[in-house]
Every structure is written in C-alpha cells, then in structure tokens.
C-alpha cells in the first residue's frame, strides 16, 4: 500500500537518545546510555501505533522524545510535515498542546492539592486565549462527560477517586487541549483487570469520535494487540520487528517476539495447555554495556557469529511486516 506523506501524523526516522554518564568532580562524560538507538516508525492519522517491550528497552524514552520532554541526540521527528526534533522551546510552544500524554501512574499524575475542576480548568485556560467563566464551566462538564465522569464530582479531589476514575480524569486533561496525537504511556498497567477494559474501550471510542492518533506504549502484548493497528517490538533501544497487530499471535518471526509471546499466558485453559514454550534464559543486559551486533544475540537460541558482529537491518519479509534478524 503506497503511502503519501499527507496521511502520516508522525514519522520518526533513526531516532537516537543517548544519555551521558557523568562521573567525578568535573562531571566528565565517561560513557553513554544508549536508551534509544536508531528507531524509525510512522503513525497514520487516526490510527494507533503500539510500542511493546520490557522495562528498560527505551519505549518510554521514545515517547518522551516525541513530546520533546527530552532533546533527542539524533534523528528526525516529523510531526505534520515539520521536523520538530530540534525545535527550541519557543518554536515548540504553538504545537505544544497538540501532542498530549496519558500517564501510567494514576496517583502521581494528578496534583493532590487541586480539585478536579481546577485541574481541567488549568489545561483549558493555558492556551492563552480569552475564556469566559461560563464557557470554561461548560467545557469542563463536557470533558468530564466525554470520559464517563459525572460532572457532579467536579469539586472533589483526586484522592476521593478510584484508580480508574483518576485515569479517566487524566484522559480528560489531555483532551482539554484538543490534541491530534496522544502518547499513552502504559495507561492501563496500574489498573485492575475489569477497569483496564473500561479504559481501553474509552480510548477506542474517543479515537473514533475525535479522530485521534495514539502512540500506545505498553509491556502487555495482549493489551497492545487489542488497541493498536500496528505493533513494533523493542529490545534494548532497537525495534526488532514491526507488523500489523493481527499478525503478532500467529505470524511473528523474530525470536525475541516469539519468546515474549510464549512468556505471556493466555486465559483459555485448553489452548494454554497445548501451547509450546520458548523459555528465555538470562536477563535483559544493561543498556550501558549493550552487546555488539544484534542486541538480542546473547539470549538468542539461533545466534550465529554474524549476529555478534553486525546489527541486522529492519527488512520487509512479508507485506507490512519488518523484521531485524539475520536468520529468518
């Protein structure tokens, strides 16, 4: 399927984020943590792109680079046709509110000293346009209704809400800015199972209504598969495989993706008893001492000498299905 540049809301090319390790009195740089090392992906307008990986693989760092909370070391972040990777703070300010974030921890993402009303009001008023008091009040009610909160709760404080309600409020705050793109950083991993489903459904409905695009970052494959259109699997700062999300369960190719899948149990008792397990040995190495060549080779059952030397490129093995592995 040919894509022209127009229907892409975000195109990230070869993004790199290296954090310096400083030591000693003069803060000399002694090395770099390569949290993200050459990541490329595209998000179509109105679609959801899922980024999956274990902790420390750099998925959150990618999100924070796109939001320009971090200044990336290299690469391009093309948002709506403009490369924002090197924008200064003043250049960022007109588009600041167009990219929003939903956070993982529903407890630390809301100021405990603010009422719900004041949290939303702050997000509405910050666009520097004049607002009437009644207009603001109306907008707050609208927002709360759209995320399934009763406007009666407006005067409450965050500690009076349950985890799911807090997460809904976090979504309302993001929506208050009328964003195009929302970075969802593990938005449901801190919630109970029954509430997870509520929030996932809410995010899906909002996408349909408002035409939002999501960059959905999570470690839970099942959740990502359910909400995302495309999925990228990250390992130690690299994307090792990207594909349509329908492909992942049956047709994933990269050995890491397969191991990850097999580590996740499914709730179908009979199916689960039949499944083959690919246990992974060892642990994810620290990104400070990332292995040479393919980052996965020390744990990979198929590793060869070539894997130790050269990092494989992402190549298209099937339509829309890219894999970075020498031994497919």
For residue 136 the two structure tokens come to: 């603001």
Which residue's CB is nearer to other proteins, number 12 or number 102?
102
Rounded to the nearest whole angstrom, what is the least distance from the CB of residue 149 to other proteins in the complex? 11
Residues 165-224 that bind other proteins (CB under 8 A): 165, 170, 173, 176-177, 192-198, 200-201, 204, 219-223
CB of 119 closer than 8 Å to CB of 125: no
Which residue's CB is nearer to other proteins, number 12 or number 223?
223
Residues 79-108 that bind other proteins (CB under 8 A): 93, 96-97, 99-101, 103-105, 108
**Contact letters (x/-) for other proteins, 15-54, by CB under 8 A?**
---------------------------------------x
Residue 171, judged by CB atoms within 10 A of its CB (0-12, 13-18, 19+), counts as buried
Question: Distance (Å, rounded) from C-alpha 40 to C-alpha 326?
Answer: 19
Query: By CB under 8 A, is residue 144 in contact with other proteins?
Result: no
Rounded to the nearest whole angstrom, what is the least distance from the CB of residue 101 to other proteins in the complex? 6
Task: Please choose, out of 10-18, 31-39, 118-126, 310-318, the segment that lies near other proteins by the rule CB under 8 A.
Answer: 118-126
Residues 294-323 that bind other proteins (CB under 8 A): none
17, HSE (Cβ side, Cα atoms, 13 Å): 26
Which residue's CB is nearer to other proteins, number 13 or number 258?
258
Cβ atoms < 10 Å from Cβ of 275: 12
Which residue's CB is nearer to other proteins, number 251 or number 306?
251
Three-class secondary structure of residue 136 per DSSP: helix
Question: Distance (Å, rounded) from C-alpha 296 to C-alpha 325?
Answer: 10
Q: How many residues bind other proteins (CB under 8 A)?
A: 80
Question: What does the DSSP assignment read for 123-177?
Answer: HHHTT-S---HHHHHHHHHHHHHHTT--GGGGG--GGGS-HHHHHHHHHHHHHTT
């Amino acid at each position: 399927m040919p894509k022209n540049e127009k229907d892409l809301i975000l195109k990230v090319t070869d993004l790199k984020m290296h954090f310096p390790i400083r030591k000693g009195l003069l803060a000399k740089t002694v090395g770099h943590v390569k949290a993200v090392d050459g990541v490329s992906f595209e998000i179509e307008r109105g679609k959801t792109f899922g980024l999956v990986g274990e902790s420390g693989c750099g998925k959150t760092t990618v999100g924070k680079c796109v939001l320009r909370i971090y200044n990336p070391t290299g690469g391009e972040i093309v948002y709506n046709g403009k490369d924002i990777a090197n924008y200064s703070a003043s250049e960022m300010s007109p588009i600041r509110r167009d990219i929003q974030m939903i956070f993982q921890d529903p407890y630390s993402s809301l100021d405990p000293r603010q009422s719900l009303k004041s949290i939303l009001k702050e997000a509405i008023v910050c666009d520097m346009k004049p607002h009437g008091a009644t207009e603001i009040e109306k907008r707050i009610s609208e927002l709360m209704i759209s995320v399934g909160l009763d406007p009666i709760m407006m005067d409450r404080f965050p500690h009076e809400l349950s985890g799911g309600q807090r997460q809904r409020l976090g979504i309302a705050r993001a929506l208050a800015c009328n964003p195009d793109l929302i970075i969802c950083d593990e938005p449901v991993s801190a919630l109970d199972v029954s509430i997870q489903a509520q929030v996932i459904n809410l995010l899906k409905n909002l996408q349909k209504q408002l035409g939002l695009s999501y960059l959905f970052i999570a470690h839970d494959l099942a959740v990502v598969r359910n909400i995302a259109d495309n999925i990228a699997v990250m390992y130690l700062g690299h994307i090792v495989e990207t594909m349509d999300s329908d492909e992942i369960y049956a047709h994933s190719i990269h050995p890491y993706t397969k191991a990850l899948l097999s580590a996740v149990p499914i709730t179908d008792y009979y199916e689960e008893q039949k499944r083959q397990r690919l246990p992974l040995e060892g642990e994810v190495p620290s990104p400070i001492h990332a292995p040479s060549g393919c980052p996965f080779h020390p744990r990979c059952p198929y590793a060869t000498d070539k894997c130790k030397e050269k990092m494989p490129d992402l190549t298209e093995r099937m339509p829309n299905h890219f894999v970075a592995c020498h031994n497919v």
